[in-house]
């Protein structure tokens, strides 16, 4: 009986020691919250551990919010952590917004954080606007001269537009599009060089920050350089293309003329062949006429004499031309 009592006492002591050790792990956090007037109980800390929420993070965030006069319930902090949010950054953003007189509550800050945006950086950007330098944008004025422009965009984050609003890339793309449109509508590149502000004024008046998470405060032209004479290059390319087209058409006409010449030569040869064929019929016709008595022998010899005389005249007439 005594042994059972001793065993019971030992087991009870072990349980007490384990409980004290378990509670002792949270005692420093509880004491820290107590003296900071953050009101976090031991049982809340134990519950955080069971829910796999780091008590250190929640207590630090709770103390930070209470000290800033913006107490946030531990349940909200735990829920935000379990949603994969950054608890400390949200509390820091709330404090920064409160100090800067920017309207921001925990629910809105948590939504911005869960949307993947840095809510603290957004608040800081609302207080201290950010300058974004665009890459070099090339555009061509109406006189055909290319210009390269670099701009600096001063933007301020709009807290109310952070959820669902477009980012910096959209602002840069829209400003680049506005620069191309402004330069492209200028009558001469000299107008742009003389008054670069015409670009920034026109672009700024277009309301390019609509639907974005930022408010464009100013657009400043940092640099404008003259590029190539695109108009002259296009005219040169067009002239070269016209030249090739003309050469192709001339070659086509030459080929057609050559084909027509060859066709005429073929027709001449065909006519000569027909002439030879016709001449070949003459002796046969004369023989038939002699047999039938329609042509006398003397008539035949007279015809031969005429042919010989004609041949002689041709040879005499062609001799002086050959000498020349």
pLDDT in tens, 136-164: 888 888 888 888 888 888 888 877 777 77
Percentage of the chain with pLDDT > 90?
Answer: 0
Calculate mean pLDDT across residues 28-32: 69
SS (H, E, C) 92-118: HHHHHHHHCCCCCCHHHHHHHHHCCCC
* Pick from 35-49, 64-78, 116-130, 163-177: least confident: 35-49
Which pLDDT does position 59 carry in this prediction? 82
Burial class (CB in 10 A: 0-12, 13-18, 19+), 88: middle
| CA–CA dist 35, 54 (Å, integer) | 20
CB 85 within 8 A of CB 91: no
| Domains defined along the chain, listed by start | 2-127 (no CATH), 130-232 (3.30.479.30)
Give mean pLDDT, residues 296-318. 74
Paired sense of beta strands 130-133 and 137-140, if any: unpaired
Whether the pLDDT of residue 21 is over 60: the answer is no
| Rounded Cα distance, 177 and 185, in Å | 12
Give Cα separations from 207 to 7, 195, 227, 306 (angstroms): 81, 21, 29, 107
pLDDT above 70 covers what percent of the chain? 85
Is residue 324's pLDDT more than 70? no
For residue 96, is pLDDT > 80? yes
CA distance to 226, 297, 312, 323, per residue, from 289 (Å): 98, 10, 27, 43
State both tokens at 280. Answer: 């070949």
Please say if the pLDDT value at position 82 is more than 80: yes
> pTM of the predicted model, to two decimals?
0.55
**pLDDT for the residue 27:** 66
How confident is the model at residue 319, as a pLDDT?
60
pLDDT one-digit tens code per residue, 207-226 = 777 778 788 888 888 788 88
Name the least confident of 44-53, 65-74, 246-255: 44-53
Tokens of 127: 């207080």
Question: What was the pLDDT predicted at 298?
Answer: 72
Please, are residues 137 and 223 in contact by the beta-carbon 8 Å criterion?
no
- According to DSSP, the residues that pair with 151 across neighbouring strands are 221
- What does the block give as tokens for 3? 């042994």
* Average pLDDT taken over every residue of the chain: 80
How confident is the model at residue 25, as a pLDDT?
A: 63
> Residue 118, Cβ neighbours under 10 Å: how many?
16
C-alpha–C-alpha distance, residues 16 and 103, integer Å: 50
What does the alpha-carbon distance between residue 238 and residue 232 come to, in Å, rounded to a whole number? 10
CA distances from 39 to 27, 31, 44, 155, 157 (A): 13, 10, 10, 41, 35
Query: Would you state the pLDDT for residue 18?
Result: 58
Residue 209, burial from CB neighbour count under 10 angstroms (0-12, 13-18, 19+): buried
Each as own residue / partner, the long-range contacts of residues 220-224 (CB below 8 Å, 24 or more positions apart, any chain) are 220/151, 220/152, 220/154, 221/149, 221/150, 221/151, 221/196, 221/197, 222/133, 222/150, 222/151, 222/152, 223/148, 223/149, 223/150, 224/147, 224/148, 224/149, 224/150, 224/192, 224/193, 224/196
Element (H, E) at 144: none
Residue 185 confidence (pLDDT):
83
- What confidence tens digit (pLDDT) does each residue in 168-197 have? 888 888 888 888 888 888 888 888 787 777
Confidence band (pLDDT; 50, 70, 90) for 22? Answer: low
CB 129 within 8 A of CB 145: no
Q: How far is CA 201 from CA 175, 197, 208, 218, in A?
A: 11, 6, 12, 9
Please state the rounded mean pLDDT for residues 230-244: 84
CA 177/CA 173 separation, integer angstroms: 6
pLDDT for 130 beyond 60: yes
Q: What's the average model confidence in pLDDT over 245-265?
A: 88
């Amino acid at each position: 009986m005594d042994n059972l009592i001793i065993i019971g006492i030992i087991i009870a002591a072990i349980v007490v020691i384990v409980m004290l050790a378990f509670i002792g792990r949270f005692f420093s956090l509880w004491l820290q919250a107590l003296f900071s007037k953050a009101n976090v109980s031991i049982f809340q800390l134990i519950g955080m551990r069971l829910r796999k929420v780091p008590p250190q993070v929640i207590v630090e965030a709770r103390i930070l919010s209470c000290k800033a006069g913006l107490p946030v319930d531990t349940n909200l902090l735990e829920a935000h952590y379990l949603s994969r949010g950054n608890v400390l950054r949200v509390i820091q953003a709330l404090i920064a917004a409160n100090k800067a007189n920017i309207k921001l509550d925990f629910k809105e800050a948590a939504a911005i954080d869960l949307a993947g945006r840095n809510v603290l950086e957004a608040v800081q950007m609302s207080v201290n606007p950010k300058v974004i330098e665009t890459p070099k944008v090339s555009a061509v004025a109406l006189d055909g001269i290319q210009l390269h422009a670099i701009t600096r965009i001063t933007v301020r984050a709009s807290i109310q537009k952070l959820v669902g609003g477009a980012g910096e890339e959209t602002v840069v793309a829209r400003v680049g599009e506005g620069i191309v449109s402004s330069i492209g509508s200028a009558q001469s590149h000299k107008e742009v060089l003389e008054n670069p502000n015409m670009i920034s004024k026109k672009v700024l008046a277009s309301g390019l920050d609509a639907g974005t998470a930022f408010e464009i405060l100013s657009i400043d032209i940092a640099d404008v350089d003259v590029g190539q004479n695109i108009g002259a290059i296009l005219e040169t390319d067009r002239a070269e293309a016209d030249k090739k087209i003309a050469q192709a058409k001339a070659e086509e006409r030459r080929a057609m003329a050559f084909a027509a010449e060859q066709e005429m030569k073929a027709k001449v040869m065909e006519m000569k062949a027909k002439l030879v064929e016709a001449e070949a019929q003459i002796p046969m016709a004369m023989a038939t006429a002699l047999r039938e008595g329609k042509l006398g022998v003397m008539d035949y010899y007279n015809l031969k004499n005429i042919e010989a005389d004609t041949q002689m005249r041709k040879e005499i007439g062609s001799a002086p031309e050959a000498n020349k």
